[in-house]
Structure 1
């Protein structure tokens, strides 16, 4: 199976919803508002397609990202939740690009082996147990090609952290790029996430959203 999978629908739910930011993982470079320069993929081909996706896993903000001024970044709870409606975006990329993408997210320079057959069979695959995004989740398929995302293998309950404004702005811009969504809908969406709820007032969030 793993030899026949040439393309992957990579599903993202955080700052990569913004294509300009995601392309830094493909081409290399520093995303607007971020501090880190990314190496990029060996194959710098553009994604062949991109679509919206609703993910049935709860999203939250945790850890301290040096890329985003020490603020929290997005994760999914590994367990499915039929009530969760996490707004995401899929990019159709080749399997080599996907592996390079995972390597960059894990900040790992060595070889990464992904058994896509096991991932599809079990619904998950742990490619690095101590990596912040080391757990791959199989979300189904689009036109016969697997849809895959990644997150932490455990819920980072003790590391919930308020996101940096620039990180939120990147997500908001991405949502507006690909969804028909109002400012009020974005406000309600973000307010429901751990790491944002009770850490931003409605007026603070509204002020950020209005910048886009």
Structure 2
């Protein structure tokens, strides 16, 4: 088992579940193939991570920029929704996020907390392929490894699409924390112009 820690549109549980159960093109999140095992997460929890949220690149699904977190630990924290899932489900998720058939994953225990391992992904072709190419190890949750995916470099700057922001906003509003979603997202958009990934 592994904790997948989300920070973008997957803050919304309904959206995250589409990665596991599959969805068709007429659904609100578009077509997704189902995971090898379609069971829903064993547990989920909300938390804050010490990695700043920003937007960059171009999303094939949403058209505007996608959400990422800085791989560097910093003073600006991001809201996150963690899901306890099977290893095979996480491998499926990583492949879908990177628009490839499969991603050779690195064992979380081989990565120090607060650091990344760059995944070996063929990024040739479309600009959205391989954009989540960094596996970021986060502090364990109840003794179980916790990870997320982000980018090993900052892609072209841009603005997230309204419907993408709306999905993230719904996720924020479903959290147990008292957060002004519009302010939180506006701060991330502003931060996107200055963030640096070594």
Structure whose CA Rg is larger: 1
Cα distance in structure 1, aligned partners of 2:135 and 2:192: 27
Determine whether 1:187 maps to 2:182.
Answer: yes
Deviations 1:167-192 (A, max 9, x none): 1111111111123325xx22221111
Q: Tell me: CA distance 1:142–1:111, structure 2 relative to 1, closer, same or farther (3 Å).
A: closer
Cα distance in structure 1, aligned partners of 2:4 and 2:103: 19
Cα distance in structure 1, aligned partners of 2:114 and 2:138: 11
Match of 2:45 in 1: 51
Question: Which of 47, 65, 78 is equivalent to 2:71?
Answer: 78
Question: Which of 161, 165, 170 is equivalent to 1:168?
Answer: 165
Structure 1 spans left out of the alignment, 5+ residues: 1-6, 199-212
Determine whether 1:126 maps to 2:118.
Answer: yes
TM-score by length of 1: 0.79
Cα distance in structure 2, aligned partners of 1:165 and 1:139: 29
Deviations 1:5-52 (A, max 9, x none): xx1110000000001110110011158544x41112110011011111
Cα distance in structure 1, aligned partners of 2:177 and 2:108: 33
Cα distance in structure 1, aligned partners of 2:162 and 2:114: 37
Match of 1:21 in 2: 15
TM-score by length of 2: 0.85
Match of 2:153 in 1: 154
Cα distance, 1:125 vs. partner?
A: 1.5
Q: Secondary structure at the match of 1:107?
A: coil
Question: Which of 9, 12, 17 is equivalent to 2:3?
Answer: 9
Cα distance in structure 1, aligned partners of 2:64 and 2:133: 20
